[in-house]
Structure 1
Amino acid sequence: MNLESTAVPGTADNSAQSSWLSWLLVAFLIYMLLAAVGAIGDGFKAATGSNAKELFAFASNPVIALIIGVLATALIQSSSTVTSIIVGMVAGGLPIAIAIPMVMGANIGTSLTSTLVSLGHIRNGEEFRRAFSAATVHDSFNILAVAILLPLELLFRPLATASEYLAGLLVSDASVSMSGMNFMKTLLAPAGNVLSGATGWLPGIWSGVALILVGIGLILLVVTQIGRILRTLMVGRAMNILRSAVGRGPASGMASGTLVTVLVQSSTTTTSLIVPLAGSGVFSLKQVYPFILGSNIGTTITALLAATAITGASALVALQIALVHLLFNLLAIALIYLLPFLRQLPVRMAETLAHQAQRNKGYVLAYIGGVFFALPLAMVGVSQLF
């Protein structure tokens, strides 16, 4: 008995110490994420000078910009990473008009993860049908959102206009409250100097190119590690939130999807949690649908955080593209989920896909390869003809 009474407190102390160290590591990784985003912006400025727009002329076609976002996110499997990179690129001169379709493409690319997770149920026909429909409702909603909002954006620029207005308010307020003191620039200067020094020995534009590559590599590493640590710290709590809130109605499901994604800093983790539960019958497709929409909102927090790394004249456009990501997802929900005649369309699309996949497993491979890789590449080829 005495041995047990002394062992338990010691175990608790070790667990608490490990938890504190993990949170300190998360804080350090977030700091490095901000530094990496800033490095990408600085690298583009160093490499291109005032010619950044010419550098991205190849993506002047919005279809190509959209496909770049889809393919990059499908390959990296993290919209948080891709949007953070886009924030840095915008700070370095990437035009907003090109960045907006890229962000929309990232929303489509990230839905590949849940589709891959559903393959874990492929041996059980009925389970696989439920899991695949829960996964592809994410694909269907995001594709429909882009199909509606990209033409609207090209014609009327609602996202660009609204995000520019909001960014102007927020940047102005921050400037006034800080009384001209650039807090973020001062905070990030040590890490920025180290990264710049690591590439500064290269001649001419190559130092800028190297700084871009270092920044992208660092973002890939940092976002992966943050996700891994937060999954260890928070997935148990996330599962409790998920089980208690998802079945209570659309508003609760959407809010829980947002909260869980913010907690684990990864929409891919969020969908990886819900799809197996849908496959096993714990949640219905009707319950999963709003939860997954909430994950779309929650994943925008990374780009908003990344935008705080940008200072000076580029701060406004960096915050603007981060807000575009948030506004795009909110507007998509308002247009599709809140309008009765559109609400069930992603569900019907997902159920149709799931029935086809249940009947013929080869359809699954064709769907994944076609939607996320072959079709985007074909669209790039066709767009070049016009």
Structure 2
Amino acid sequence: MSTETTALPTSPQQVQGTSRWLSWLLVATLVYLLLAAVGAIGAGFKSAAGDNAKALFEFASNPLISLIIGVVATALIQSSSTVTSIIVGMVAGGLPVAIAIPMVMGANIGTSLTSTLVSLGHVRNGDEFRRAFSAATVHDSFNLLAVAIVLPLELLFQPLARTSEWLAGLLVSDASMSMGNINFMKALLAPATGLMKESVAWLPGVWSGVALILLGIGIILMVVTQIGNVLRTLMEGKAMGILRTAVGRGPVSGMASGTLVTVLVQSSSTTTSLIVPLAGSGMFSLKQVYPFILGSNIGTTITALLAATAITGDAAMVALQIALVHLLFNVLAIALIYVLPVLRALPMHMAELLATQAQRNKAYVAAYIGGVFFVLPLGLVGLSQWL
């Protein structure tokens, strides 16, 4: 009497293939949860604030306050992808786009703290530390300079708000025309968002909306972290291969590789943390690292764009608009700073000066980190109150 058994993977190659397939399935599940969580945040804000969402954010009507919120939130969470995804959900729930735009800019500054901390791993070797610290702080320097230039332009002429609104109108209109009256995304996400709403429905009044917001934020924090971990494991070898073959081939190749690696690992913090040790060891020069890091700024915008697809109905356009603002801000910053020869080298000079001083006296490191991520935000708060 014979019995049939299901063949199990026995060779290392088969086991590895099965493991990779399960990992990609996990990534797909996590992306689904991310989209559902963003939708839950929007629904939570609508439930909690009703028609008073704009009044709820009057405290952040000053652009400097909004900028600080983005900086501090991202510095604490260490993920601009997470913060911008949360902002997308908040905009869908009623946060005015004008308030959200400086928050998105602040997220770019806050995420650069990770690579600066990674550079401290070379602190015992003077030359290595100088190279690593300059590679890390060129990211900070560029983002600070970008905000200093683009934020005043935005306040005066609204190039980001107007361009993103126009593009979002085209994209949302095209999507509506192509799918008719059938909203596939809403139907796809309905089971997960419905379950989240039911889990907090027992709370009275506005508290169910508040709980739904907190639940959505918690899920986004977990999901973005786990997506990064899984993709890092899946793509680490490929990402490092891209680094070694593309970074040193010129600025266009460097930006493209920085964008691609960040899309693969879903974290600009991870991307810049990969390149800093290589710069510290002398494998890449600051001039080679610089465009790669700018590419990581573009690559990290994919998460917010993905999150915007979770929003349906009347809020779909503004959700997509703020996600596009993140992309357009980074593209405009590169066009204004890197493309223009008069400004291109300024972030490198700033980073090299900081690195030289930090190599001579490590107190400069503490002063720099504390100044940029704590003293400067507090100073801006005081300035905004004075103005």
Q: TM-score, normalised by structure 2?
A: 0.97
Match of 1:124 in 2: 125
> Letter of the aligned partner of 1:371 in structure 2?
V
Per the TM alignment, residue 384 of structure 1 is displaced from its structure 2 partner at its CA by 1.6
Q: Distance in 1 between matches of 2:189 and 2:52?
A: 26
Per the TM alignment, residue 378 of structure 1 is displaced from its structure 2 partner at its CA by 2.3
Q: Distance in 2 between matches of 1:211 and 1:347?
A: 44
Match of 1:368 in 2: 369
Match of 2:295 in 1: 294
Aligned pairs for 1:56-135 (under 5 A) are: 56-135=57-136
Match of 2:4 in 1: none
Q: Distance in 2 between matches of 1:169 and 1:275?
A: 39
Aligned pairs for 1:347-358 (under 5 A) are: 347-358=348-359
1:190 aligns with 2:181: no
Q: Distance in 2 between matches of 1:64 and 1:183?
A: 38
Secondary structure of the corresponding residue to residue 97 of structure 1: helix
Q: Distance in 2 between matches of 1:245 and 1:361?
A: 33
Secondary structure of the corresponding residue to residue 310 of structure 2: coil
> Letter of the aligned partner of 2:88 in structure 1?
V
> Letter of the aligned partner of 1:290 in structure 2?
P
Q: Distance in 1 between matches of 2:380 and 2:356?
A: 27
Q: Distance in 1 between matches of 2:335 and 2:10?
A: 50
Aligned pairs for 1:214-363 (under 5 A) are: 214-363=215-364
Unaligned stretches of 5+ in structure 2? 1-8
Q: Distance in 2 between matches of 1:255 and 1:63?
A: 32
Per the TM alignment, residue 308 of structure 1 is displaced from its structure 2 partner at its CA by 0.2
Secondary structure of the corresponding residue to residue 49 of structure 1: helix
Match of 1:384 in 2: 385
Q: Which whole-Å deviations, capped at 9, do the CAs of 1:228-266 have from their partners, x for residues lacking one?
A: 000000011000001000000000000000000000000
Q: Distance in 2 between matches of 1:208 and 1:259?
A: 37
Q: Distance in 2 between matches of 1:92 and 1:44?
A: 5
Per the TM alignment, residue 9 of structure 1 is displaced from its structure 2 partner at its CA by 6.3
Match of 1:5 in 2: none
Q: Distance in 2 between matches of 1:212 and 1:9?
A: 46
Match of 1:161 in 2: 162
Q: Distance in 2 between matches of 1:260 and 1:11?
A: 27
> Letter of the aligned partner of 2:233 in structure 1?
T
Q: Distance in 1 between matches of 2:215 and 2:370?
A: 30
Q: Which range moved further: 366-375 or 120-129?
A: 366-375
Match of 2:180 in 1: 179
Q: Which whole-Å deviations, capped at 9, do the CAs of 1:96-151 have from their partners, x for residues lacking one?
A: 00000000000000011110010000000000000000000000000000000000
> Letter of the aligned partner of 2:25 in structure 1?
L
Aligned pairs for 1:37-52 (under 5 A) are: 37-52=38-53
Match of 1:3 in 2: none
Q: Which range moved further: 373-382 or 201-210?
A: 373-382
Per the TM alignment, residue 326 of structure 1 is displaced from its structure 2 partner at its CA by 0.2
> Letter of the aligned partner of 1:218 in structure 2?
I
Per the TM alignment, residue 60 of structure 1 is displaced from its structure 2 partner at its CA by 0.2
Q: Distance in 2 between matches of 1:235 and 1:10?
A: 23
Secondary structure of the corresponding residue to residue 50 of structure 1: helix
Per the TM alignment, residue 320 of structure 1 is displaced from its structure 2 partner at its CA by 0.1
Match of 1:144 in 2: 145
> Letter of the aligned partner of 1:36 in structure 2?
A
* Percent identity between the two aligned chains: 79
Q: Distance in 1 between matches of 2:308 and 2:199?
A: 23
Runs of 4 or more consecutive aligned structure 1 residues displaced over 6 Å after TM superposition: none
RMSD: 1.0
Q: Distance in 2 between matches of 1:85 and 1:104?
A: 14
Per the TM alignment, residue 165 of structure 1 is displaced from its structure 2 partner at its CA by 0.2
> Letter of the aligned partner of 2:66 in structure 1?
A
Secondary structure of the corresponding residue to residue 51 of structure 1: helix
Q: Distance in 2 between matches of 1:25 and 1:367?
A: 39
Secondary structure of the corresponding residue to residue 95 of structure 2: coil
Per the TM alignment, residue 225 of structure 1 is displaced from its structure 2 partner at its CA by 0.3
Match of 1:4 in 2: none
Q: Which whole-Å deviations, capped at 9, do the CAs of 1:2-23 have from their partners, x for residues lacking one?
A: xxxxxx9611111000000000
Q: Which whole-Å deviations, capped at 9, do the CAs of 1:155-208 have from their partners, x for residues lacking one?
A: 000000000000000000000111111111000000001000010110000000
> Letter of the aligned partner of 1:31 in structure 2?
Y
Q: Distance in 2 between matches of 1:262 and 1:350?
A: 26
Q: TM-score, normalised by structure 1?
A: 0.97
Secondary structure of the corresponding residue to residue 203 of structure 1: coil
> Letter of the aligned partner of 1:26 in structure 2?
V
Match of 1:17 in 2: 18
Q: Which range moved further: 164-173 or 370-379?
A: 370-379
> Letter of the aligned partner of 1:115 in structure 2?
T
Per the TM alignment, residue 267 of structure 1 is displaced from its structure 2 partner at its CA by 0.3
Q: Which whole-Å deviations, capped at 9, do the CAs of 1:252-308 have from their partners, x for residues lacking one?
A: 000000000000000011001000000000000000000000000000000000000
> Letter of the aligned partner of 2:222 in structure 1?
L
Q: Distance in 1 between matches of 2:366 and 2:25?
A: 42
Q: Which range moved further: 286-295 or 8-17?
A: 8-17
Per the TM alignment, residue 53 of structure 1 is displaced from its structure 2 partner at its CA by 0.4
Q: Distance in 1 between matches of 2:132 and 2:217?
A: 33
